[in-house]
Structure 1
Amino acid sequence: MAYLRRLVADDVPAFALVRTPLGYVLLDRAGMASLVLRIEGSVPWARPDLLSRLARGQTAVQQAAQTDVRRLAMARTLPRGLAAMLRKHLPQGTTYLNTGHSNLTDRVLQAAQGLGGRIGVFVHDVIPLEFPQFQRPETVEPFRAKMRRVQACADVIICNSADTLHRAGQVMAQWGTVPEGIVAHLGTDLTTPQPDMLPDDLPPSGPYFISVGTIEPRKNHALLLDVWDAMGADAPTLLICGARGWNNAAVFARLDGRTDTRVIERAGLSDGAVAALIAGSCGLVFPSFAEGYGLPPVEAAALGVPVVANDLPVIREILGNIPVYLPAHDRYLWEKTLKDMAEAGQQGREKVQFQAPGWSQHFNTVLRSL
């Protein structure tokens, strides 16, 4: 969304390519601006049209979005006509910028190459290839195929950290020449804490720690549950804010089987509510095994909240010595550290001083590279 807003505000000609179940849609700047208003909620989505309703497996919101992008389009085509549509409507030498891990297909990348401009791809991480045990089994090989196409077709890869760039380079070097790479730390859209958005039973009445993010194996919630089991009845509260993910049946069973209130699981809270919970906590706990960037610790530090994290290179790159770093498997050390922090409480904690990276520097770095 940050990229969409930035390109709409720029004075350089900009276009957006949207894939739908029926093919591809091309938006000009006016169409992109109208799409931003709908995503932000300033303008309501349209009622789904017949074509959208005929598409299988689509939610009502997806149907409405597809209806609107077709109405806003400067051009659209079936998949086989993509290259011809781009050649007809885009200037020769147009740069193609892919900001996610989607649409990295031969069809799209070859069509972009046909424009004669540079191709830039944002690589957020290569975790599926480094830690396949944390992924859905069926997702690993498709991700590998995407990264191989990026290695073969991209002129520049944009990474959110030097650690990600290093890891992506190691992976791609197995297949041939590694594209030029740049590092652009993600900007942070800090959310103002909104305690009035919290449900009546939150925040917990006593001291608590908070974990933010999808409940998946890579995030290592199992360690946190081990720590809280070991701390016993006098433990502070552990507040787990995030939706349930995949391949995590054992952790889900432990959460479902708890009869105490020392561990609270909550999903679907607003950003303002989560920010309020982070701000009121004794600290954010982040024992993740692997990250491309690690946004929750950055957001917590920006709110002045202590962070306890696994000692990952990317966390040190962004936050330096601000977090308390603990090994991801050392239950005893986590238990002792969190007990000490809980006893000190909010009043006894040292205020974290941290200025989160901004989007301005991010875009200056990225757009200069293209």
Structure 2
Amino acid sequence: MQRPTAFDLTRLVTRLRHASPSGIDRVDLAYAHAFLGHREKSVGVVSTAVGPRVLPREEALSIVAAVEAGWIEDRPADEDPAYRRLAARLGAPVPGEAREPAGKPGSAARDRRLIQARTVARILARSRPIAALPRDSLYLHTSHLRLDKPGRFDWLYDRRDVRAAFFVHDVIPISHPEYGRAGEAARHEVRMRTVGRHAAAILVNSEDTGRRTLALLDAWRFPRPPVAVGHLGVEPAFGREGPRLHPPRPTFLACGTIESRKNHLLLFQLWRVLAERHGAATPRLVVVGRRGWEAESAIDMLERCPGVTAHVIEASGLSTHGLAALMRSCTALLMPSFTEGYGIPVVEAAASGLPVVASDIPAHREIAEGLARFHDPLDGPGWLAAVERLMEAGSPLRADLAGRLEGYRPPDWPAHFAAVGPTLAAL
């Protein structure tokens, strides 16, 4: 007999004001569908300043639906204005005309804020105190949100009948504090200690994340809960079939927020050298991701280095279908990160048939051994040689890497839940 499930909706409520989902949002959404959508004995839980509140399943599902509607993820690539603008810059225009969202500029953002305000009011009006949570519930928290506020989880001390499972996405702010914002290492330690105090089980996206999480709990003398590893599912939009561009020259792709951990500075240094060597024949580099923190040197190159400004294009706001079409159109994905919890662009690219060159780190080895070409993230000459070999007409290296992807089946969400299901059922 299944336990009643209490899914923590707090992050999804906060994401009502955002136009597109992050990687953690996608995990939240997948779990919401799996547990709220398919288990009748389920409820939502929202952390508020006045304590946790319990929402009936129907109310919780309406919040999930509102979030999905705001993200507009089903828009085809050729109707995505960001994709069309990028295609024009690459010299590969998309046929037809883009369908811009109805309403005045900025109206969509205002509408999302209004929906969020109404949703918060509805939660306060229609929810019930945590005492209303069914006995012997499984509490699922699949984001890191609010874990840095331990008091928000003190209710678990009073509800000893509830078993809690937490999803740990990474411990990078602790293991690699140099790549985070000031103070983030201390905040993440608080989050992980909250997990250590309350977790009856921990869910992770990779073996590497699991090892690092248990090492922290051991160092802090917390008991070791069972850890379930489930690789994250790739969205169905990523595949070999579908629209694609035909850029007039080799075009490489880098995905991720521009921050020091992602090692964009290495790529921009490479592109300066490539521009000096190849002039007008220099390949393009498309960087999909917004500008982040602690990345002044990389941003300086984006703005002031002639070789970079001439051949590197920043792109943000792409829909899922737009990114999938771009992946089908490029020469290779370059992923030189110093550390990752998982590395979803690697498997999205592989699913799309896009050759991958990735940094030689444990997470990348785990998800792409035998598929990708690996280089140390500090091996500038190695990365440069790989790019120059891939940009050649009829590149043997590109043919080899593309051949490795024949028959590749990416992780999907059913496989993820099959992997973590036994651990949750054992609770």
**TM-score above 0.5:** yes
Structure 1 contact 113–119 (Cα < 8 Å) conserved: no
Q: Aligned equivalents of 1:99 and 1:126: distance in 2?
A: 14
1:43 offset after TM fit, Å? 12
The 1:43–1:307 alpha-carbon spacing in structure 2 relative to 1, beyond 3 Å, is: closer
Structure 1 contact 195–272 (Cα < 8 Å) conserved: no
Letter in 1 for 2:271: W
Query: Which 10-residue stretch deviates more, 124-133 or 3-12?
Result: 3-12
2:100 is aligned to none
2:314 is aligned to 265
1:261 offset after TM fit, Å? 2.3
2:418 is aligned to 364
2:334 is aligned to 285
1:20 offset after TM fit, Å? 4.8
DSSP-derived class of the 2:357 partner: strand
Q: Aligned equivalents of 2:143 and 2:328: distance in 1?
A: 30
DSSP-derived class of the 1:244 partner: coil
**1:170 and 2:223 are equivalent in the alignment:** no
DSSP-derived class of the 1:366 partner: helix
1:220 is aligned to 263
2:67 is aligned to 39
Output aligned runs, 1:1-370, within 5 Å.
1-20=29-48, 24-41=52-69, 61-71=112-122, 75-76=126-127, 85-87=129-131, 89-104=132-147, 105-115=149-159, 116-176=161-221, 177-192=223-238, 204-232=247-275, 233=279, 234-259=281-306, 260-344=309-393, 349=399, 350-351=402-403, 352-353=405-406, 354-370=408-424
Letter in 1 for 2:337: S
RMSD: 2.6
**TM-score calculated relative to the size of structure 1:** 0.85
**TM-score calculated relative to the size of structure 2:** 0.75
1:26 offset after TM fit, Å? 2.5
Structure 2 contact 199–225 (Cα < 8 Å) conserved: yes
Q: Aligned equivalents of 1:20 and 1:63: distance in 2?
A: 19
Q: Aligned equivalents of 1:43 and 1:298: distance in 2?
A: 22
Letter in 1 for 2:414: S
Structure 1 contact 190–299 (Cα < 8 Å) conserved: no
1:184 offset after TM fit, Å? 1.2
DSSP-derived class of the 2:391 partner: helix
Deviations 1:102-158 (A, max 9, x none): 122333322134331211110011000011000001222111111112112211111
Deviations 1:203-248 (A, max 9, x none): 7431110001111110000110111111222321111111111111
Query: Which 10-residue stretch deviates more, 155-164 or 29-38?
Result: 29-38
Q: Aligned equivalents of 1:334 and 1:277: distance in 2?
A: 22
Q: Aligned equivalents of 1:59 and 1:122: distance in 2?
A: 32
Letter in 2 for 1:338: V
Q: Report % sequence identity.
A: 32
Q: Aligned equivalents of 2:380 and 2:71: distance in 1?
A: 50
Structure 1 contact 8–29 (Cα < 8 Å) conserved: yes
Q: Which runs of 4+ in 1 moved over 3 A?
A: 19-25, 72-77, 192-196, 344-348
